[in-house]
Amino acid sequence: MADTSGPGAPLLAERLRERAHSTPQRVAYTFLREDGVAQDIGYAELAARVDALAGHMLHHAAPGQRALLLYPAGIDFIVAFFACLAAGIHAVPAAPAHRARDCARLEALLADAAPALVLCAPEAHAACAAALARAGCTAPLLREPGTAGAAALPRPALDAVAFLQYTSGSTGQPKGVEVTHANIAANVAAIGSAFGFRPETVMVSWLPPFHDMGLIGSIAAPLMLGFRSVLMAPGSFLRRPGAWLEAVTRYSATCSGGPNFAWDLCLRRIQGAQKAQLDLSSLEVLYNGAEPVRATTLEAFMEAFGPCGLRREALFPCYGMAEATLLVAGGPRGRAPRMLALDTAALERGAVREAHRGQAGSRLLVSCGPGAPGVALAVVDPARATPRAEGEIGELWIAGPAVARGYHARPQDSARSFGLRIADAPAAWQGARWLRSGDLGFVRDGEVYITGRRKDVIVIHGRKIHAQDVEALAESAAAELAPNSCAAFALDGEGKEGGERLALVVEATRALARGGDLDALARSIRAGVTAGTGVALQLLAFVAPGAFPRTTSGKVQRARCKELLRRGALPLLAVRTAHAGGSEGSAGSAGSATRADAAIDWLRGYAARRLDSRLADERRSLAPHVLLDFGARGLLGLQAPLTKGGLALATTDLVRVMAQLAALDLSLATLVGVHNGLGLRPLLRFGTEALRAQWLPVLAGGRQLAAYALSEPQAGSNPRAIGSRAERVEGGWRLDGEKHLIGLAAWAGVLTVFARAFDPAGRALGTIALLVPADAPGLVLGPEALTMGMRAMPQSALRFEGVYVPDAQVLGEPGAGMEVAQDAMGFARLGIGALCVGAMQRCLQLMARYAARRDIAGGRLLDNPVTLLRLHEVDCAIEAAQALVDALADEIDAGTALPLDACSACKCVLSELLWETVDRLVQMLGGRGYLENNLAPQLLRDARVLRILEGPSEALYAHLGALARLPGNPLMRALERLGGPGQAAWPTQLPAQGGGAWQDVRNGEFAAWTLLAAAARGDAAAWARRRLDLLRHAIEAESGAAAIAPSAGALLARVAQHARAIGDVEQDAPGEAGGLDPLLRRAAPDIAAAPVAAPAAPSSLELVRACVARWLREGGLGDGPNEELPGIAVDVAAERDGGGAACEREDWNVDTPFSDLGIDSLASVPLALEIEQAGGVPVSAELLYDYPTVRALAAYIDEQRDEQRDERCTEPGGERRVHAA
């Protein structure tokens, strides 16, 4: 084999021209298309297309600029890649952005690479142009020209950049490796030597062409070394893994391979008759690389496919990385893999000590072979940059001509990884420039063993545990898990001593997602991990199928998974945490914080995917799935026991969750607060054990909601003024009366109702609290009030007409209902304070974002002094409010009595601060603040009600002011507990002197602000004191004004004069027709029977639902679409006629996300094909991400069908035919 790595080494483009001249008709590449057609291209045709495209590109860009290649796998990509190299333009291969989640990666890559050109497949031109426009890319999008008129092309220098290889897994901060022409030549030469390639070699590969293993190993090497490469799309393999080994059989391939997960997938999916048709005897090299090579996988693969002719010596573990172009070590060819059993405890200490294979406490490592020709390997202490002795674990450093130049436009990152020196290096290494790999391992007998990634080492109690060991233990402990479905990592600084905690995220299989026993599975995984590592698994999270973060080449993205979990962007099915004492305790237990963290993380991800606040506001209704999902997550039982389906949160954690909810959707947060604080709390605090057992599982699980019925038309929220009556009767109480503006009344399954209690003789007993089911006879739901804000939660009237309530449904004692009411309202007022904190944080976020981006005459709005002052004031308000809420929550968790008056003060001040903050948001946004799509108007409406809810500020201030005049009042004690000794004398310094109503309101406001100032610290305390001083001065200035106000009669006379000036008109237009048509009423006239219409063709909704139902019924198994498509008609009929035969499951509907049904990226392909064949409309697998429910996908199909009908109804001349009705 000729040497291709020296100074005179040919470029790939030159080698292509040589082969086009010497063997023009020889097949260079074969691409196996999705439709089964094999597309061949010979050297001559390939060279002509490459030269033509290269010349065309040079009309739009100069050598040294970059071209982004957005192609799927196929011949077009190969042409474009080689054309870039021939023109001296730096190729930037990238995965096409099919789904929304790909767009962020594409935008980051565009920003980093700054391409001068973009090329894509002809059929994707329109979609690609749209994606580039969304990303703000202005580079021209080129099409491939014809092959005529190719211009003379420059010869790039060997040390010039050939392409940028963006490392797998790069997302927000992508790093493009600058690979030169010389790097390609050197690594291809090493690959050819290590793999034993020759002209007779036949390669079969399904690997992505935009990753190093597919690009260098399956495209560049075959061309440079002159052998045939048979390619297929990665999707073809993922849809039907058997297609890969069938291609090996069909073409008698001598070389093929893929990452470890691909081998595992074949083991799972290739069975029986399909396996019997395989002949793998031609394989000389079957490589396993790109991710940790597992000994168990190699053994299982050999056992499964040895009968198909596969030889053990063909198995070829290897190791490589994009920064070294591709291959670093591998093989050796013709020898079975070498495996080494090592003591796990020694490995954790960084030492290598052999153990007996199969011995407890041992780990079996697979050798990745010797270093490739031309590659120098060193095992280095990364902290000291000194060499390790042979047999010691360290970081692998690499040197040689295949090591790339560095990262594009990232000099600091390049300096950290490339061109490093080794101190005290042996003579052979003197002067070498090294690449640090980030991988840990050791060299034994000249062969490389990888123990893990340096960044994936988890240090717990001084022990070093490798993430892949934890993942392997989890998978071996639970047979239900698929291989490559776990990500282990450390939760930093969250242990009891501030150390790391062990966490594991597991992708559930479709069967598990549909109803597996996750608790039992969690116990098995915990036991396996603890037994294997001696370390407890602190957090175990199960995510929905298809949501597990992997690179496009299939690698587990541990860091990405950790970040998504932290941000709440993973669709979690369940979270299991370890707690002190081995159990999840009460609300005050250590597990409360962890559960709250998990809830907050989930909420952030859920809001991004499933909430539509504006739609809920416009429709005055909340989508049912939100309540169902919140119930499933325990959010409708925040302080309900774990055994009843709740989260058992401490108050300090409850307020954190409520603040997060308010930042996402204030109306929804209010709804959750009403249910938990007003609806559920009376039952938790005052219900009998029997009542709690009956109702808590239903309410905490979200199957029903709870309402709090206190307000009445004439009494408002004053429990002492209510007029509803509960008269004692035999065995219970007769309830009569009316309530109005009752939140959740229309949706509630049970209500806590307050009434004045009377004995049979009519003597008053006090207030009674009754738990009344919504379906109780005599309970009548009244009209819904159309509120200004909080429109996603219904506010309705109720009427009680002789409702019988048994004694068992009394909360607390008869006559002591006031205690129940005050406890619930006091706690709810603290909850409102938490809502205000979260909503203010959201406002500040929006204000700062807008100010930083808005340019005004004097520069950025953010730099304006008034803006800076406003933002600073809001920041201080948030800090002070947070401190007050936290202090009161801490008091409650400490076991003290609920500080009712302090909670009232908290509610008043914080709701007024929120109103002030939202008003400033609207004002700062200017005209944008008046637009519904900009969030501010809805925030304004929703915030306004918090000044009224649970008692208007003026009424509560009056109560607080009256208390402030009394010696030993509870506000003074609250002030002392908040740590404000300097304010202890404030009751003698009240600014409004006297005992009138006006003085009480203003003094109550002053008292509430004093509490806030006492709780605040730092800048927030100084701000609060300034506000308190301003309030004092304002009250003192008003003291005389209150005395000169006219009488009520005089004021009404003035109002009458104004009324005469404008008239007194009430609009009374007919409005919309709302009555039922007479023909549809109960006493309808006789109507002749209409003729029975012929059965309609299945609608798109029915069709898609039937396909999904079939898939669920059959367990989602199979390698392709169902061939018995006529059976779909039976399924459709059964679904349409309500027979339910099409699916045994009842826990899904047409709005259930496909991901919740277990339809992941693998399952979506055959399902899409079945829907396409049944519906006659093209349906790609990606559409199941873009249209993620049956209803959404059906709407898309309807649109396509409409377009098809439009085309059929168009005359050849282009005019539509018009048919008479």
User: Mean per-residue pLDDT for 219-237?
Assistant: 96
Half-sphere exposure of 157 (CA within 13 A, CB side): 4
- Residue 294 and residue 263 in contact, taking contact as beta carbons nearer than 8 Å: no
- Residue 198 and residue 227 in contact, taking contact as beta carbons nearer than 8 Å: yes
- Give the separation between CA 912 and CA 880, rounded to whole angstroms: 13
Q: Is residue 655 part of a domain?
A: no
pLDDT digits (tens, 9 = 90+) for 38-51: 999 999 999 999 99
The token pair at 86 is 């021939």
- What was the pLDDT predicted at 1111? 72
Is residue 984's pLDDT more than 70?
no
Q: Is residue 910 part of a domain?
A: no
- Around Cβ 393, how many Cβ atoms within 10 Å? 22
- Give the separation between CA 149 and CA 160, rounded to whole angstroms: 27
Q: Look up residue 703 and give its amino acid.
A: R
Q: Is residue 90 part of a domain?
A: yes
- Based on the number of CB atoms within 10 Å of its own CB, is 520 exposed (0-12), middle (13-18) or buried (19 or more)? exposed
| % pLDDT > 90, the chain | 47
- Give the separation between CA 654 and CA 889, rounded to whole angstroms: 9
- Give the separation between CA 414 and CA 409, rounded to whole angstroms: 9
| % pLDDT > 70, the chain | 84
The residues with which 457 forms a beta bridge, in sequence order, are: 466
Please report which confidence band the pLDDT of residue 1122 belongs to, taking 50, 70 and 90 as the band edges: very low
Q: Which conformational region is residue 612 in: left (phi greater than 0), alpha (psi within -120 to 50 degrees), or beta? A: beta
User: Mean per-residue pLDDT for 319-325?
Assistant: 95
DSSP 1025-1069: HHHHHHHHHHHHHHHHHHHTPPPHHHHHHHHHHHHHHH-------
What backbone phi and psi angles, to 5 degrees, belong to 69?
-110, 110
- Give the separation between CA 613 and CA 671, rounded to whole angstroms: 13
User: Mean per-residue pLDDT for 291-313?
Assistant: 94
Please report which confidence band the pLDDT of residue 1092 belongs to, taking 50, 70 and 90 as the band edges: very low
- What was the pLDDT predicted at 753? 96
Least confident of 422-431, 579-588, 1074-1083, 1109-1118: 579-588
- Give the separation between CA 745 and CA 750, rounded to whole angstroms: 9
Among 578, 605, 622, the domain boundary falls at 578
Among 558, 578, 598, the domain boundary falls at 578
The residues with which 315 forms a beta bridge, in sequence order, are: 286
User: CATH no. for residue 532?
Assistant: 3.30.300.30
Is residue 182's pLDDT more than 90?
yes
For residue 77, give the nearest of 114, 39, 130, 129 by alpha carbon: 39
Give the residue with greater pLDDT, 1143 vs 244: 244
- What was the pLDDT predicted at 1208? 53
Among 578, 598, 616, the domain boundary falls at 578
Least confident of 110-114, 218-222, 380-384, 563-567: 563-567
The token pair at 765 is 């007993």
- The total number of structural domains in the chain stands at 3
- Residue 829 and residue 901 in contact, taking contact as beta carbons nearer than 8 Å: no
User: Mean per-residue pLDDT for 822-830?
Assistant: 93
Q: Is residue 970 part of a domain?
A: no
Least confident of 213-222, 657-666, 919-928, 1070-1079: 1070-1079
Coil/strand/helix, residue 331: coil
User: Mean per-residue pLDDT for 247-263?
Assistant: 95
- What was the pLDDT predicted at 482? 81
Give the residue with greater pLDDT, 1175 vs 594: 594
- Specify the pairing of strand 779-784 against strand 748-758: unpaired
- Residue 561 and residue 548 in contact, taking contact as beta carbons nearer than 8 Å: yes
Is residue 150's pLDDT more than 60?
no
- Residue 167 and residue 553 in contact, taking contact as beta carbons nearer than 8 Å: no
pLDDT digits (tens, 9 = 90+) for 985-1000: 444 567 766 667 778 8
- What was the pLDDT predicted at 363? 86
Task: Report CA torsion sign: 1101, 1107, 1108, 1113.
Answer: positive
- What was the pLDDT predicted at 1084? 45
- What was the pLDDT predicted at 1161? 54
Q: Which segments of 854-934 does DSSP mark as H helices, in order?
A: 865-893, 900-925
Report helix angle 651-664 to 591-610, nearest 10. Answer: 10
- What was the pLDDT predicted at 238? 85
- Give the separation between CA 72 and CA 102, rounded to whole angstroms: 14
Give the residue with greater pLDDT, 1143 vs 1002: 1002
Q: Is residue 392 part of a domain?
A: no
What backbone phi and psi angles, to 5 degrees, belong to 357?
-60, 130
Please report which confidence band the pLDDT of residue 1183 belongs to, taking 50, 70 and 90 as the band edges: low
The residues with which 379 forms a beta bridge, in sequence order, are: 396
Q: What is the DSSP letter of 676?
A: I
Q: Is residue 1109 part of a domain?
A: yes
- Give the separation between CA 172 and CA 152, rounded to whole angstroms: 39
Please report which confidence band the pLDDT of residue 26 belongs to, taking 50, 70 and 90 as the band edges: very high
Q: Is residue 1192 part of a domain?
A: yes
Q: Is residue 909 part of a domain?
A: no
- What was the pLDDT predicted at 1043? 59
- Give the separation between CA 190 and CA 331, rounded to whole angstroms: 12
Q: How much of the chain is in helix, strand and coil states, percent to nearest 5?
A: 45, 20, 35
pTM, entire model: 0.51
- What was the pLDDT predicted at 745? 92
Q: Which conformational region is residue 6 in: left (phi greater than 0), alpha (psi within -120 to 50 degrees), or beta? A: beta
Q: Look up residue 692 and give its amino acid.
A: R
User: Mean per-residue pLDDT for 549-558?
Assistant: 75
User: Mean per-residue pLDDT for 917-940?
Assistant: 92
- Give the separation between CA 695 and CA 808, rounded to whole angstroms: 13
Is residue 334's pLDDT more than 50?
yes
- Give the separation between CA 195 and CA 215, rounded to whole angstroms: 16
User: Mean per-residue pLDDT for 1090-1097?
Assistant: 46
The mean of the pLDDT values for the chain is 83
Please report which confidence band the pLDDT of residue 983 belongs to, taking 50, 70 and 90 as the band edges: very low
- What was the pLDDT predicted at 305? 97
- What was the pLDDT predicted at 1138? 36
- Give the separation between CA 1158 and CA 52, rounded to whole angstroms: 47
- Give the separation between CA 378 and CA 398, rounded to whole angstroms: 6
- Around Cβ 870, how many Cβ atoms within 10 Å? 19
- Residue 976 and residue 984 in contact, taking contact as beta carbons nearer than 8 Å: yes
Residue with tokens 């009324």: 1059
For residue 755, give the nearest of 798, 796, 784 by alpha carbon: 798
What backbone phi and psi angles, to 5 degrees, belong to 1219?
-105, 140
User: Mean per-residue pLDDT for 141-157?
Assistant: 77
- Residue 69 and residue 94 in contact, taking contact as beta carbons nearer than 8 Å: yes
Domain that holds residue 1200: 1100-1208
- Residue 1194 and residue 1099 in contact, taking contact as beta carbons nearer than 8 Å: yes
Least confident of 103-107, 812-816, 1121-1125: 1121-1125
The secondary structure element, H or E, covering residue 379 is strand 376-381
Is residue 367's pLDDT more than 70?
yes
- What was the pLDDT predicted at 643? 84
- Give the separation between CA 328 and CA 330, rounded to whole angstroms: 7
Is residue 383's pLDDT more than 70?
yes
For residue 596, give the nearest of 563, 570, 633 by alpha carbon: 633
User: CATH no. for residue 101?
Assistant: 3.40.50.980
- Based on the number of CB atoms within 10 Å of its own CB, is 1119 exposed (0-12), middle (13-18) or buried (19 or more)? middle
User: Mean per-residue pLDDT for 884-908?
Assistant: 86
For residue 1158, give the nearest of 543, 555, 517 by alpha carbon: 543
Residue with tokens 């392409």: 163
Q: Which segments of 579-635 does DSSP mark as H helices, in order?
A: 591-610, 613-619, 624-632
pLDDT digits (tens, 9 = 90+) for 662-716: 999 999 999 999 999 999 999 999 998 889 999 999 999 999 999 999 998 876 6
User: CATH no. for residue 1133?
Assistant: 1.10.1200.10
The token pair at 995 is 């005992």
